[in-house]
Amino acid sequence: MKLTTRLILTCVLAALLTACDSNQGTNQQAPAETAEPAAVAPDPGHTAGPSFPAAGMHEIDLSSGKVSIRANQVNERTLLDELATRANFQLLTGDIDWQVVTVDIQAESLQAALVELLMGYPYQIVYAPDKDNRQEILSEVVIGELPAIVTTDSEQTDAADKAWHEDIEELSKDGQQQAYIQGLQNQQAEIRATAAKEVEPVGDAFYLLTDMLQKDPSPEVRMATTWALEESDDPLAIEALVKCLQDEDPRVIVECIQSLDFLGDETTVQYLTPMLTHYDENVRIEAFEAIQSLK
């Protein structure tokens, strides 16, 4: 083949290759952009937060003076029962259709937390004087309509207790002491509790009080009895309060610990130490504080 013909063919071939490369570059598509993941709708039964309880679980914290209630699909009655036990108030309820709730309550006080928790129910929060009558403390929470007989009985009992106490105020000091001793043996628990708070813990009254602390069927009466015994100088008062640490009601145990702390006998630390592993948190806290105070 002639040199001229080869040069022509070479040029034609080079032109064709260049055209092909150009077409390929024109038709090449840009890489597809990565699609954003679709937003996932939040679970309506779960509140945001990495440490929020799992479904069916709850957390209640009263340790800081404030109140934290975090619950994920938990029956409200469960939350109220635990609050009543740990905050030491009585819970009275009517015929309630309890709800399963998911809540994250952060409140400045117990009352504020209860108001937020109970906003779907008719309720009443009742306060009463503490053992030193220096301030009002939350004593009772009533939810719903109580049976009429319960309300009537309570009103009649309160009226009888008030009338009994007013009659005693008319007596001399000795007469009052004898009336309170009789009150310790009254059939009504409210009168026994009032008598225990007022009676001077000496003589027959002292032995009645130590017996009641072990045997009275009413936790409220046993609690009131501890308040009386902490005013006694008799060593048997400490012995009775130590036995009281085995009470079936944590509220009574808490009062016994406080009375032992008030009496200031450091030998009782050995009896308070096992209370550090008690199942009730309030008992554990009171035992720890008493031990620190007595050491």
Q: pLDDT (tens digit, 9 = 90+) per residue, 269-279? A: 999 999 999 99
Assess whether 170 and 185 both reside in one domain.
yes
E strand intervals along the chain: 58-61, 67-75, 90-93, 100-107, 123-129, 136-143
At 237, which CATH number?
1.25.10.10
At 86, which CATH number?
3.55.50.30
In a domain, 4, yes or no: no
pLDDT at 11: 44
- The set of residues, in sequence order, having a beta carbon less than 8 Å from that of 7 and lying 6+ positions away, is none
pLDDT in tens, 63-74: 877 899 999 999
Domain ranges, residue 162: 148-294
Assess whether 168 and 268 both reside in one domain.
yes
CA distance 203 to 252: 24
In a domain, 69, yes or no: yes
In a domain, 17, yes or no: no
Q: Identify the band that residue 26 occupies on the pLDDT scale cut at 50, 70 and 90.
A: very low
The total domain count for the chain is 2
Assess whether 160 and 176 both reside in one domain.
yes
Cβ(253)–Cβ(242) under 8 Å?
no
Which residue type does 62 have?
Answer: L
Query: β-strand 90-93 against 136-143: which pairing, if any?
Result: parallel
- The set of residues, in sequence order, having a beta carbon less than 8 Å from that of 222 and lying 6+ positions away, is 212, 213, 216, 244, 247, 249, 252, 255
136 three-state secondary structure? strand
Assess whether 122 and 240 both reside in one domain.
no
Q: Please give the average per-residue pLDDT across 132-161, as a whole number.
A: 59
Higher-confidence residue of 186 and 49: namely 186
In a domain, 50, yes or no: no
Q: Please give the average per-residue pLDDT across 19-32, as a whole number.
A: 45
Assess whether 78 and 179 both reside in one domain.
no
Which residues are paired to 126 by β-bridges? 140
In a domain, 236, yes or no: yes
Assess whether 169 and 267 both reside in one domain.
yes
In a domain, 47, yes or no: no
Q: Average model confidence (pLDDT) for the chain?
A: 78
Enter the pTM of the model. 0.48
